[in-house]
Amino acid sequence: MDVTLGYLRETLSNHLNRDVGKQIYKKLLHHQYKNEGDFVRDLNDGEMAFLNTILEKELRYAIEEQDEKRVKELNEVYELL
């Protein structure tokens, strides 16, 4: 699995209490995306909106924690949304 998508899957594991979070997580588990671009193209509008919201929060947290690697990886997906 693409490293960026691995970070995203880990992030989504904290949001499985919402149906859309589970839906996106399952996509990551069951599809072999070559890269984050392929993944984002497979999302519907609702999934994109959900990811946009949670990634904003996750990026702020990673910045506060000075986790530069996490910021870089999650930002890869965020920019594509």
Q: What is the pLDDT of residues 9-65, one digit of tens each?
A: 999 999 999 999 999 999 999 999 999 999 999 999 999 999 999 999 999 999 999
pLDDT on residue 2: 84
- In the chain the first and final C-alpha atoms are separated, in Å, by 20
Flag whether the pTM goes above 0.75: yes
Hey, what are 16's tokens?
């499985």
Q: How buried is 60 (Cβ within 10 angstroms: 0-12 exposed, 13-18 middle, 19+ buried)?
A: exposed
Q: What ranges do the domains of the chain cover? A: 3-80
Hey, what are 26's tokens?
């399952």
pLDDT on residue 49: 97
pLDDT bin (cut points 50, 70, 90) of residue 1 is low
